Amino acid sequence: MKYVAPSSVEEATSLLSASPSAQVFAGATDVVPQLRAGRPAPELLVDLKKIEELVSLKSDDNKWTVGAATPTAYLTEDEAFSHEFPGLSEAAGLIGSDQIQNRSSLGGNLCNASPAADSVPAMVVNGVRAVVAGPSGTRVLDVSEVVTGPGQTSLDDDEFIVEFEIDNMPARSGDAYLRMIPRTEMDIAVVGAGARVTLADDGSIEQAALALAAVAPTVIRIPDAEDALVGTTADDATLDAVAAAASEACDPIDDKRGTVAYRKQVAGVLAKRAVLIAIERAEQRNGTN
């Protein structure tokens, strides 16, 4: 196993193209434990953190740009970012511990392709886009298009994510992410739920996005719950419908971390609670940006 640390995107893609068994990494908080656990080692490990644009957090008038290898601690510590995207920031802040967050990245969290990845539902509901580099240039994918199954992505072997683009949070909008773990930290989501809402002037819900983690092979959206919310003020009956739709949309497994029945039931509970938090935040961002 060899280690390389290219300093540009082009250098990295050409290294990847040249080596049939190469793997990129950012914080390596998934990669190293996997190697230790006996996963076959690649011939070449490509460290992305020496490429400048991969480790940065920037904003302009329209959007935020987060380098794919940026430690998630940036997202929790940047006041402007966490004020605008409290849900995504909180999701990033749930990954492991302070030590882990000094290394873990959104790119790694997404491309490790665990159904339980915490930042992914929060990215999905915020419509985050991934800028993917490959030998023939870059392409832009919706985050929800990246993961295709447990441990599987739609990226080619010689592609990697350079950065994420996040359009500014519209007025009267808010996001939230909640996860259920039996402990309070250092655990893997049994269920995760991300929500984002935009309110109309009359306070009713104009747009809603809901996504669940750890209840299906990939993070899933819940269109039925989203439809149920739009046009309402999230009254009890609507929230019950949201919970029911969330439970219904789940396709979980029974494993050491939770049962099918438990995951379905709690998916509904968290979806409902995440919506309520997102609404509260949207109300607080009344008319401001």
Partner 1 sequence: MAVTEENPGYKWVGTRPIRPDGLEKVTGKARFGADLVLPGMLYGKVVRSPHAHARILSIDTSAAESMEGVKAVITGDDFPDLAANGAHPSDVDVANNTIARDKVLYEGHVVAAVAAITREQAEAAAKAVEVTYEVLPHVLTVDEAMADDAPLLHEGMITKGVDPAPEEPSNIASKILHERGDLEQGFGEADAVVEREFTTKPVHQGYIEPHAAVADSNSDGRANIWCSSQGHFQMRAYTATVLGVSPGTLKVTAAEIGGGFGGKTVIYLEPLAVRPSQRAGRPVKLVMDRDEVFRATGPTSGTRIKVKMGVSKDGKITAAEVWMAYEAGAFAGSPVGAAGMTAIACYDIPNFVVEGYDVVCNKPRVAAYRAPGAPMAAFAVESVLDELARNIEMYAIDIRLANAAVEGTQAAYGPKFPRIGFVETLEAIKDHPNYTTELGPNQGRGVAAGFWFNAGMMSSATVHVNENGTATVVTGSPDIGGSRQSMALMAAEELGIPYESIKPVVADTETVGFNDVTGGSRVTLATGAAVVDACRLIVEDLRARAAKTWDVELDQVEWVDGQAQHVEGAQPPLSLNDLAAKSGRTGGPISANASLNSRGVGAGFSTQLCDVEVDPETGVTRIVRYLTAQDAGRAISPDYVEGQMQGGVVQGIGWALNEEYIHDTEGVMENPSFLDYRMPVASDLPMIDCSIVEVPNPAHPYGVRGVGEVGIVPPMAAVGNAIHDAVNVRMTELPMSPVKVLEALNAHDE
Ligand X SMILES: Cc1cc2nc3c(=O)[nH]c(=O)nc-3n(C[C@H](O)[C@H](O)[C@H](O)COP(=O)(O)OP(=O)(O)OC[C@H]3O[C@@H](n4cnc5c(N)ncnc54)[C@H](O)[C@@H]3O)c2cc1C
By CB under 8 A, name the binding residues for partner 1. 180, 182-188, 190, 256-259, 261-262, 265-266, 269-270
The answer to whether 3 and 125 have CB atoms below 8 angstroms apart is no
Compare residues 39 and 233 and give the one whose CB is closer to ligand X.
39
Residues 213-242 that bind ligand X (CB under 6 A): none
Q: Rounded to an integer, what is the distance from CA 163 to the centroid of its chain?
A: 13
Compare residues 94 and 155 and give the one whose CB is closer to partner 1.
94
User: What, of ligand X, partner 1, none, does residue 92 touch, CB below 5 to 8 Å by kind?
Assistant: none
User: What, of partner 1, ligand X, none, does residue 183 touch, CB below 5 to 8 Å by kind?
Assistant: partner 1
User: What, of ligand X, partner 1, none, does residue 77 touch, CB below 5 to 8 Å by kind?
Assistant: none
Shortest-Cβ-distance residue relative to ligand X: 108
Interacting span for ligand X (CB under 6 A) from 28-36, 80-88, 201-209, 217-225: 28-36
Beta carbon of residue 18, minimum distance to ligand X (angstroms, whole number): 17
Beta carbon of residue 275, minimum distance to partner 1 (angstroms, whole number): 14
As a whole number of Å, the end-to-end CA separation of the chain is: 48
**Concatenated DSSP letters of 177-214:** EEEE-SSSSSS--SEEEEEEEEE-TTSSEEEEEEEEES
Distance CA 201, CA 155 (A): 41
Strand segments, DSSP code E, in the chain are: 2-4, 22-25, 44-47, 57-59, 63-67, 129-134, 137-142, 147-149, 152-153, 160-167, 173-180, 191-199, 205-213, 220-221
Q: Is the dihedral of CA 113, 114, 115, 116 positive or negative?
A: negative
**Is residue 160 a contact residue for ligand X (CB under 6 A)?**
yes
Choice from 13, 30, 206, 266 touching ligand X (CB under 6 A): 30
Choice from 118, 158, 175, 206 touching ligand X (CB under 6 A): 118
Beta carbon of residue 168, minimum distance to ligand X (angstroms, whole number): 23
User: What, of ligand X, partner 1, none, does residue 230 touch, CB below 5 to 8 Å by kind?
Assistant: none
Compare residues 79 and 256 and give the one whose CB is closer to partner 1.
256
Distance CA 178, CA 188 (A): 12
**Is residue 96 a contact residue for ligand X (CB under 6 A)?**
yes
Residues 59-88 that bind ligand X (CB under 6 A): 68-69
Sheet arrangement for strand 57-59: 57-59, 63-67, 160-167, 129-134, 137-142
Task: Reduce the DSSP state of residue 79 to 3 states and report it.
Answer: helix
Distance CA 80, CA 59 (A): 9
Q: Which residues bind ligand X (CB under 6 A)?
A: 23-31, 33, 48, 68-69, 94-96, 100, 103-105, 107-109, 111-112, 117-118, 155, 160-161, 186
